Amino acid sequence: MTEVLIAIGILGGLGLIFGLVLAAASKLFYVETDPRLDALNECLPGANCGGCGYAGCGGYAEAVLAGEAEIGKCNSGGNECAQAMAAIMGVEAGEVKRKVALVRCSGYRTVDTEGNKQGAKMKAEYEGFADCLAASKVGGNGPLSCKFGCLGFGNCVAACNYNAIKIVDGVAKVDSHKCTGCMACAAACPRNLIIPVDYGTNVYIACNSHAKGAVTVRGCSQGCIGCGICTKICPHEAIRVEHNLAVIDYEKCTACGLCAAVCPKKLIASPVETPEEILAIVKAAMKK
């Protein structure tokens, strides 16, 4: 019994000594943290998507605190997040617009009202790995006739952590309501088809082909042929043709829908959808 008590006393004494050593070490090596760091982390959405360029929200918060990163790089948090972080840091931040991903391709395997297939044409039947990068290396830029188009094997879908992108009719489609703007999908796309645009953008060109018009037509029935009709009708000089592809300047665009109305390929998406509205705006433009 005495031996047991001695053993218990020894163990208790060792525990007390180690406890005192640890307590002293915690005091000796204590590093004071800036309380603003926790506040900055609370402002961020915690998505850890990497869209800001840092390894998670914590990394971005540390960079902002150290003055190494600008406020407003968090697309997921948007303007509310940016303003809250600016208040903590005692600075002013400009308005931050939410960004979402846009796939610049109309796709293929779609069928018109007469049963004809529309979009990029298939030049071969691909039976390899269901991977966009692998498919793009086979048979000269992959199974599509258009070397710029979406291959539709879903590398972007696998990269998205928010279920915001799916393959529909052979092309990737983004659900802007779910998209956080992290652009992980863009990094996964071997053809660089995906770009960030402002949330709510309703005029866009779903094409990335820089081939000449005749070449584009051979490979895709919906691709931009660089005809320039859209540039001529735009009253705000908000659209231009660069390297055979129409490009929209969103700083000038008013979403009037004129470019979409006159596009011979019906490629440009627009909020003006009914035939009556399209006819009205075209006639109005022609009178000027």
C-alpha span between 181 and 273 (Å, rounded): 27
Residue 19 lies in a domain: no
Q: Which two tokens stand for residue 130?
A: 């269901």
Asked if residues 166 and 173 have their Cβ atoms less than 8 Å apart, the reply is yes
Question: In sequence order, what are the residues at sequence separation of 6 or more whose Cβ sits closer than 8 angstroms to the Cβ of residue 278?
Answer: 257, 260, 261, 272
Residue 255 lies in a domain: yes
Residues 255 and 268 both lie in one domain: yes
Asked if residues 101 and 87 have their Cβ atoms less than 8 Å apart, the reply is no
CATH of the domain at 188: 3.30.70.20
Predicted pLDDT of residue 93: 81
Q: Which two tokens stand for residue 102?
A: 């846009």
C-alpha span between 82 and 63 (Å, rounded): 14
Q: What is the DSSP string of 93-118?
A: ------EEEEE----SSEE-TTS-EE
Predicted pLDDT of residue 52: 83
Look up the domain containing 44 and give its range. Answer: 35-89
pTM over 0.85: no
Residues 165 and 233 both lie in one domain: no
Going by the DSSP 8-state scheme, the letter that residue 121 receives in this structure is P
Residues 156 and 187 both lie in one domain: yes
Q: What is the DSSP string of 28-79?
A: HT--PPPHHHHHHHHHS------TTSSSHHHHHHHHHHTT-S-TT--TTTHH
Question: In sequence order, what are the residues at sequence separation of 6 or more whose Cβ sits closer than 8 angstroms to the Cβ of residue 196?
Answer: 75, 99, 100, 101, 102, 181, 183, 186
Residues 112 and 193 both lie in one domain: yes
Residues 42 and 128 both lie in one domain: no
Residue 15 lies in a domain: no
- State how many domains the chain has: 3
pLDDT in tens, the chain (288 residues): 677 667 676 777 777 777 777 777 666 665 567 788 889 889 888 878 777 888 888 899 899 988 898 898 888 788 889 999 999 988 888 888 888 999 999 876 555 555 555 667 777 778 788 899 988 888 777 788 888 889 889 999 999 988 999 998 888 999 988 998 888 899 899 999 999 998 888 888 989 999 998 888 888 888 899 999 999 989 899 999 999 999 999 889 988 888 888 888 888 887 766 556 666 666 666 566
The CA-based dihedral angle spanning residues 266, 180, 183, 77, taken in that order and rounded to the nearest 10 degrees: 130
Residues 69 and 124 both lie in one domain: no
CATH of the domain at 40: 1.10.15
Decide which of 138, 169, 199 is a domain's last residue: 199
